């Protein structure tokens, strides 16, 4: 695995760990900030994000590289986060309902989407090299 992909996975891991721990530990104020997100749902999302962050970190540290399915799992997860954010902001406005919450959600979705793009681009190169 090349250094650029490792760094991307590590930044993604830091993002997942940071948001995951925040959502899990201070879910009440974050839910209030967002507007209509049930705090317990936010806590569960946080736990899942933190676990995903640990998985990303482990994958980035592994000497043997990353497999096609594992990379696809990370890309799919990031893509679903972006899609879910867009759905919540546009189709379920009672969940994320203030301008600053909407802007924050879209900013995070942009960050997560960039992880998906970089992982796809860099991962493709790594997997091509592994196949040859």
Nearest partner of 114 among 82, 72, 90, 88, judged by Cα: 82
Nearest partner of 8 among 120, 129, 105, judged by Cα: 120
Domain that holds residue 104: 3-131
In sequence order, what DSSP letters do the residues of 38-79 get, joined into one string?
A: -HHHHHHHHHHHHHHHHHHHHHHH-TT---HHHHHHHHHHHH
115's CB contacts (< 8 A; 6+ apart) are 8, 11, 12, 15, 74, 78
Number of folded domains in the chain? 1
At residue 15, the pLDDT reads 98
The Cα–Cα gap between 86 and 116 comes to: 15
The mean of the pLDDT values for the chain is 94
* pLDDT per position as a tens digit, 89-111: 999 989 999 999 999 999 999 99
At residue 33, the pLDDT reads 96
Q: Is the pLDDT of residue 56 over 80?
A: yes
Q: Is the pLDDT of residue 61 over 80?
A: yes
Consecutive H or E run containing 120: helix 99-131
The Cα–Cα gap between 22 and 31 comes to: 11
* pLDDT per position as a tens digit, 9-51: 999 999 999 999 999 999 999 999 999 999 999 999 999 999 9
At residue 67, the pLDDT reads 85
Q: What DSSP state is assigned to residue 93?
A: T
Q: Is the pLDDT of residue 57 over 70?
A: yes
* pLDDT per position as a tens digit, 63-94: 888 888 999 999 999 999 999 999 999 999 89
Q: Percent of the chain at pLDDT above 90? A: 83
User: Do 101 and 34 meet the contact criterion of CB atoms below 8 Å apart?
Assistant: yes
């Amino acid at each position: 695995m090349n250094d650029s992909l490792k760094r991307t996975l590590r930044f993604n891991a830091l993002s997942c760990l940071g948001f995951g721990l925040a959502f899990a530990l201070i879910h009440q104020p974050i839910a209030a900030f967002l507007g209509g997100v049930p705090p317990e749902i936010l806590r569960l999302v946080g736990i899942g994000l933190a676990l995903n962050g640990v998985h990303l970190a482990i994958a980035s540290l592994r000497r043997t590289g990353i497999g096609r399915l594992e990379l696809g799992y990370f890309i799919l997860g990031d893509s679903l986060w972006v899609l879910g954010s867009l759905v919540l902001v546009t189709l379920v406005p009672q969940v994320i309902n203030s301008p600053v919450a909407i802007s924050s959600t879209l900013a995070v979705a942009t960050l997560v989407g960039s992880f998906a793009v970089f992982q796809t681009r860099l991962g493709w190169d790594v997997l091509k090299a592994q196949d040859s």
